[in-house]
């Protein structure tokens, strides 16, 4: 019985969605709402910030591939597993999607690379051999 009721409700929803509207168009209501919303929302789409780290494990240098940040200054930190700040740098991103090389002389162990910019923060685990 539940399946019949669900099927009936679904069918009625589909029929209502494709019913002709008072303005004469045959566009489903759900598509009209989406179209209106995209016209009203003129905010730019914000790309999610991401960082790729390689090689991992590293010895004395690593490369970061940074995506989704704005052009400008980013804060680059290296933190050990105990939460101690080992390195604190600032780097300039020309277009927000770049590759950068980090040189370091760290004891073997586990560290975290933290990249911050305004409201964006990405953390990556790095193993040093």
Higher pLDDT, 42 or 71: 71
Q: Is the pLDDT of residue 7 over 80?
A: no
SS3 per residue for the chain: CHHHHHHHHHHHHHHHHCCCCCCCCCCCHHHHHHHHHHHHCCCCCCCCCEEEEECCCECCEEEEEEECCCCEEEEEEEEECCCCEEEEEEEEECCCCEEEEEECCCCCEEEEEEEEECCEEEEEEEEEC
Phi, psi of 42, rounded to the nearest 5 degrees: -105, 15
Average pLDDT, rounded, for the chain: 78
Q: 24-50 pLDDT, tens per residue?
A: 555 555 444 444 444 445 556 667 889
Per-residue confidence at 110, pLDDT binned at 50, 70, 90?
very high
Q: Is the pLDDT of residue 65 over 50?
A: yes
- Please tell me the distance from the alpha carbon of residue 10 to that of residue 33, in angstroms, as a whole number: 19
Q: Domain residue spans in the chain? A: 2-40, 50-128
Per-residue confidence at 96, pLDDT binned at 50, 70, 90?
confident
Q: Kindly calculate the radius of gyration of the chain based on its CA atoms and give it in whole angstroms.
A: 25
- Kindly indicate whether the domain formed by 50-128 is annotated with CATH number 2.60.40.3080: yes
Per-residue confidence at 89, pLDDT binned at 50, 70, 90?
very high
């Amino acid at each position: 019985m539940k399946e019949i009721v669900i099927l009936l409700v679904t069918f009625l929803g589909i029929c209502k969605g494709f019913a002709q509207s008072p303005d004469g168009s045959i566009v489903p209501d759900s598509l009209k709402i989406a179209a209106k919303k995209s016209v009203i929302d003129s905010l730019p789409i914000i790309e999610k910030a991401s960082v790729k780290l390689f090689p991992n494990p590293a010895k004395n240098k690593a490369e970061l591939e940074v995506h989704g940040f704005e052009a400008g200054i980013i804060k680059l930190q290296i933190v050990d597993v105990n939460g101690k700040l080992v390195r604190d740098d600032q780097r300039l991103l020309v277009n927000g999607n770049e590759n950068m090389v980090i040189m370091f002389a760290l004891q073997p162990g586990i560290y975290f690379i933290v990249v911050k910019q305004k409201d964006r923060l990405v953390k990556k685990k790095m193993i040093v051999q």
